[in-house]
Chain A
Amino acid sequence: MNGEYSLDTTEGMAASGDPPTNNAVDDYDAEEALERQREEENKIKIKLKSFEGGVYECGLTAAKMSVMVANMLDALQETDLTKIATREPIPLQNDAVTNKALEKIVEWVDHHWDDPPIDPDFDDEKERRNEELSHWDKQFIDIADQGELFDIIAAANFMDIKGLVEVGAKHICNKIKGKSCTEVREMLKIHNDFTPEEEAAIHKENEWIYAKD
């Protein structure tokens, strides 16, 4: 999906606010009503507070992409959603949720909030796993500062935003695909805690696989 396109549609719909079309089938109507509700809810802005204290605004529907945030909001049992907007910012108590990371996360959910929800009955997980990242996601996740990248993934994992963790995981896997162990260790700054003997043993065990290449 193209970033600008989705931005345009959201703004366009919000501005015009047409009544729903009447001559559609019931199912379609229900779907559209739900979409409209999500859209309306996303206009309500809630505040999220990072571990470092920075406060960021985020659409309600978008924020609910974080299962953790959604659960916290549910726990409030607030029927008047607009009141949520005036509440204290929601604190995110994990040191990975830095200001920068939260800023990026809000950017991501704001872009993806209208993604169709994953249907567990029909979604072919294998296919989704193998699917390449969208252009927007690629640019989004291509972050020079590796510490920040890891913050974002850890924070997304903490906030339980599956889609974003997936983007991060795919990004990292794409980078290390086909590289040697030494390169991977250097790149991801992983400490090699094997003794040379242990490493040699693994190499020997996997010999038949390397021989294939």
Chain B
Amino acid sequence: MAEEDHNYYQQMAKKPKMSSIDEKSAAEECYPRDSLDRYGDDLCEEILSYLSLADCFRFECVSKQWQRSVYKRQHNLDVNRIFHDLMVPNDMNWEAFNALMKKLPNIRSFKMSVNSLTTERILHRLTAITIPHSPSYTEAFKPLIKSCTKLTQLSTFTDNLWYRYFNLSVLFDSDNQLLAKGLTHFELSYCFAEDLPLFKAFVDHYRHSLKSINISFTGAEYSVILCALRELSNLKNLRNLFVFVDTGIGSLKSFIDCMQRLATECKLLKRFHLVMSCVNEVTMCQIYHTMDRFAQLRGLRLFFENDDQIIGDEESLSDSSTGSESDDNSKLSSIDVKSTEEECYPKDSMDRFGDDLCEEILSYLSLEDCFRFEC
């Protein structure tokens, strides 16, 4: 501090004490009142969090404090918007992408479109993929599944009324060999008796590893449903289960049996969401009572429908103190998934890219995954 500046610094304000993080505060440094330097890192981060990512890059070199702060509160990354033409065409700029990942330690959700020319290079890094529901996308994606070595979650954009998911065949090649082996979450449409052998193979492989499954029996016959449900109870590690049944159930007793079997076999089940239509009140009550048997359940949602009339709705289990909460505050990642999907839908103008080579692939990375991403 030069002496001639002395007058200027008379109006100095001490650095506010709320900066708990700032390691300099012990040094009793003083800053002019009208300089942003007087703020601690926390307030600085707060202010800079309103900047666009593009501005963040430019301002990184303003000062060391800014370099520390500028990326801290950036949680969402829309790769399409940042990279514009850099990413979408053939050459994915990996160097740039890796640099970006290093800079943004707190990214929670991440969104990008990839066409097939780049997909092969990116696929092995993704842990979660969401594909719009349409046979052409699924078909285009299928040959690529094998290269998704880190894939753990495969889901689809669903339209909430019909619960259309993947056909099981998407996971199997022409020789009925399973293509993706490391899944923890899958979404499945199960309609026909012919699906059973594949489903058996699927369950066989995932007996101890699958944690979450959505299964939709749109228009399936009752016997088909029963077989599948019995098979389902072999997934011992299941934490989260969603079942959608839109045809009536034949014999109540067999259905209850299935539920009881699920309850005894899938001991770890924490969240269960059951949607059924064409169910009368008596059936509903009986099904509801079987739910007592799920010992570990933290969140339960039942939805029964009878000729457009809703009889049952959300219920929360009382056997745990966190019952109702855990349903609403399901883990951050799953909330993230939902909201990003919704956001994505209107922007879903992949038609722009012309053909079925285009896929919208979303990956939702937790912080941990981000780091994995770097290598």
Q: Using a CB–CB distance below 8 Å, which chain A residues touch chain B?
A: 94-96, 126, 129, 145-147, 150-151, 153-154, 157-158, 165-166, 168-170, 172-173, 176-178, 180-181, 184-185, 188-194, 199, 202-203, 205-206, 208-210, 212
Q: Does B321 contact A (CB under 8 A)?
A: no
When the two chains form their complex, are residues A212 and B86 in contact, meaning their CB atoms are under 8 A apart?
Answer: yes
CA separation between A184 and B62, bound complex, in Å?
A: 7
B34 on the interface (CB 8 Å rule)?
Answer: yes
Dominant SS among interface residues on chain A? helix
- A95–B47 touching, CB < 8 Å: no
Q: Check if B47 sits within 8 Å of A181, measured CB to CB.
A: no
B-side interface residues, number (CB < 8 Å):
43
Contact of A146 among B16, B34, B50 (CB under 8 A): B34
* Contact, CB under 8 Å: A190 / B61: no
Give residues of chain B (19-69) contacting chain A, Cβ–Cβ below 8 Å.
32-39, 43, 46-52, 54-55, 57-67
Can you add 5 more A-B contacts, CB < 8 Å, to A157-B46, A206-B58, A208-B95?
Answer: A165-B43, A176-B51, A177-B55, A190-B36, A192-B62
Q: Which residue of chain A lies nearest to B51 when distances are taken between CB atoms in the complex?
A: A173
The listed residue (A126, A181, A191, A208) touching B61 by CB distance below 8 A is A181
Cβ contacts B68-89/A at 8 Å (1 or 0 each): 0000000010000001101000
Cβ–Cβ < 8 Å partners of B49 in chain A: 129, 169
Taking beta carbons and an 8 Å cutoff, which residues of B are in contact with A?
11, 13-14, 16-18, 32-39, 43, 46-52, 54-55, 57-67, 76, 83-84, 86, 93, 95-96, 99
What separation, in Å, do the CA atoms of A202 and B13 have in the docked complex? Answer: 31
B47-A150 in contact (CB<8A) = no
Give the distance to chain B from A167, nearest Cβ to Cβ, in Å: 10
Task: From known contacts A94-B16, A146-B34, A189-B36, infer whether A126 and B47 are also in contact, taking CB-CB under 8 Å.
Answer: no
Chain A residues near B99 (CB-CB < 8 A): 205-206, 208
Let me know if A147 and B33 touch, CB within 8 A: yes
Q: In the assembly, what is the distance between CA of A76 and CA of B63, in Å? A: 43
Which residues on B sit within 8 Å (CB–CB) of A146?
34
A210 to B99, CA, bound (A): 14
Query: Is the pair B34, A169 in contact by a Cβ cutoff of 8 Å?
Result: no
Check if B16 sits within 8 Å of A169, measured CB to CB: no
27 A-B residue pairs with CB within 8 Å: A95-B16, A96-B16, A147-B13, A147-B33, A150-B39, A153-B39, A154-B39, A154-B43, A157-B43, A165-B46, A168-B47, A169-B48, A173-B55, A176-B59, A177-B51, A177-B55, A181-B59, A181-B62, A185-B62, A189-B35, A189-B36, A190-B35, A191-B35, A193-B65, A194-B64, A206-B60, A212-B83
Contact B48 A150 (CB under 8 A): no
4 tightest A-B CB contacts, nearest first = A147-B33, A189-B35, A147-B34, A188-B36
Report chain B residues within 8 Å CB of A188.
35-36
The minimal Cβ–Cβ distance linking B97 to chain A, given in whole angstroms, is 10
A154, B16: Cβ atoms closer than 8 Å: yes
**B47, closest chain A residue (CB):** A169
A96, A126, A205 pick with most chain B CB within 10 angstroms: A96
Shortest distance between the CB of A96 and any CB in chain B (Å): 6
